[in-house]
Structure formats: C-alpha cells, structure tokens
Amino acid sequence: MKILVVDDSEAFRKLMIELLVRAGFHDVIEAENFDQGLEKFKVERPKISFVDMILPGKSGVDLTKAILLVDPKATVIAMSSIINKKMIRNSLETGAKDFLLKPTNEIALSSVLQMWSD
Amino acid sequence: MGLFSRKSKVGQVGRESGLGITRKYKLAPGRTYIVEESPPDISFDAFVNILSTAVDGSKKTVGLAVSRQHPDLIRQKYGLEATPIFWLATRAGEDVISPTNLGILTNTLVRFIVENQEGVVLLDGIEYLISNNDFNKILRVIDQVNDHISQSRSLMIVPVDPRAFSQKELALLERNTEKLGSARKSP
C-alpha cells in the first residue's frame, strides 16, 4: 500500500517514514509543499495521504480539496502540531478522514493506519 | 470530618467539544498508565484524544490536568477549553498548586476521581514534584490516587522522564500501573 507524507519539515517527514516502515508500510513517498504533494498524488495515487495543515503557500486544506478533486475516494489524514478546533473541523468538512497531532507516535499512527488502510 | 475537609481545588468541570476524529488510544478504565517519555507528547495526545472523542455513542469523558507547563500554553497548543488545568508552581494563584503542598494536590485529584467516575487525570511534572519533596512522598501520592482510580472507571496518565529516575525508582513507579508507549523522541 502506497502512502504519501506532505510536510515542509524534512525532519518530520523522515520520522513519519521511519514510523511507517516500522509499522510495515515500506512504500512511502514524500513531498514538502502543495505543488509537490499534488503532483506526487496524481502520479503515484497513494492509498493514504498524510497532509500537514500548515504548508508554505497554499494550505493543507487546499491540498486536501485538490487531492479529492483528483480522486474523491482518496483517504487524507490531516496533521498539525497544535489542536486548532476550527482548522480541524474545516479539514474534516473538506473531506479529510481523520486528524493526527504532531509529533506523532507509534500508537496513534498505528491506530489511524488500522482504521483507514482497509 | 469528610473526605474533602482538606482544601481541594476542583471546581466546575466541563466537557470538551467533539472533534469528529477517531479514538486512537484504547486505555482501560480503573488503571494508571506510566508513559516513559520526554517531552510528554504521547501523554498529552492521549489525554486530549480521549477527551475529544466519544466511543460507541457514549458521552465524552471529562478530564483534569496538572502540569509544570503553564495552563495558557497547554490550552493554546491542545485546544482545551473546558478542562481544568492546574499549574505546578510556587506562585500564588487560583489554578496553581504548590509543589510542596502534596495534601492539596492529592485532594484535588482524589476529589475529581470520586466526583467524575469516568474521568481522565493527567499528572505531568513528577520530576518537579520530586525535586521539591522526595521520591517516596511522591510515590505515596501516586499510590493513594491510584487506589481511588482502581475503585472507579477513571484513568490516570503519568508521563515520566526515564533519565530522571534510577531503575529502582522506575520499577517502584511502574508497580501497580501499566506502561504506555515508548520513550522515542521526535523533532
């Protein structure tokens, strides 16, 4: 199963990839902004996309909308390092399936993967 | 003399509004969970996730946090609006518990557990408490609160920085408690 991680922090992308690999998900692609994220989604068609809500330029909510326009059945998981309830509700209304608080950990990530990888 | 004749700081306890996200931490009621980590990210994530989600149509649970971190910072980062948060500090104030006043700390936690049978307690700042007292006194506080947790459907989350404790102290802390998560540090 292919997974996309979109976050402008290289250190966080590396951490996510390490956690995903440890959880048994080896096919992981990464992007650092809206344009790269959308391009990689179009080409690679990942099953799950983890998208940071705060990206340089266009936001994670914008990217969620764009991904779901390409594939309405795509699974997008919103991420953020703070819990801003308005932003989380906005991302879920846009079509994100769930939310993950950064920095994440094996328990929370495994739970999300278990819920949305079927 | 009643159970809460000594001073306790618990006032009105409110429920957080739901976020529409899934429950990520399946913690058993009636248990205390020790989380070996620094900073306490897993502990706060679990605390907030449980307070912001309901399972199988049940009512969302209520929580109480005690932390060395200032309540305003916690509210800002974790979006907590209704949950009482007490600051472990030596300054005077309504939402402040002095690290040397273990009676008020214990009574605040016990009263919350007794009055909220399915509540969640986050006790952050054990290292600070120990630096102002001694280990055995803090262990007695945790044991006493844990006794009340065991008799209720509440649960308690206690982050500990394993670098601040000896193996013997960690073993004593983990006696009668569960371990949650790993000590992994993230960027």
* Contact between residue A80 and residue A102 where contact means Cβ atoms under 8 Å apart: yes
CATH architecture of A3-112: 3-Layer(aba) Sandwich (3.40)
Measure in Å the smallest separation between the Cα of A79 and chain B Cα atoms.
12
Cβ neighbour number for residue B31 with a 10 Å cutoff: 17
Helix (H) or strand (E) holding B128: helix B126-132
Contacts of A84 in chain B (CB under 8 A): 79
A40 token code pair: 């990689």
Mean pLDDT, range A89-112, rounded to an integer: 94
- d(CA B123, CA B32) in angstroms, rounded, equals 10
Place of tokens 């307690």: B121
Contacts of B21 in chain A (CB under 8 A): 88, 92, 98-99
Reported as a single tens digit per residue, the pLDDT across B25-83 is 999 999 999 999 999 999 999 999 999 987 776 777 999 999 999 999 999 999 999 99
B41 token code pair: 């990210």
- C-alpha A44: how far from its chain's center? 14
Helices A106-116 and A10-22, axial angle in degrees (round to 10): 70
Of B22, B25, B187, nearest to A107 by CB-CB distance is: B25
Q: Give me the residue spans of the domains in chain A.
A: 3-112
* Contact between residue B155 and residue B33 where contact means Cβ atoms under 8 Å apart: yes
Q: What is the CATH number of domain B32-52+61-179?
A: 3.40.50.300
Specify the length of chain A in residues: 118
Which range of B58-62, B105-109, B179-183 scores highest in mean pLDDT? It is: B105-109
The CA angle A19-B51-A76, to the nearest 5 degrees, is 45
Reported as a single tens digit per residue, the pLDDT across A6-28 is 999 999 999 999 999 999 999 99
Contacts of A12 in chain B (CB under 8 A): 186-187
Reported as a single tens digit per residue, the pLDDT across B119-139 is 999 999 999 999 999 999 999
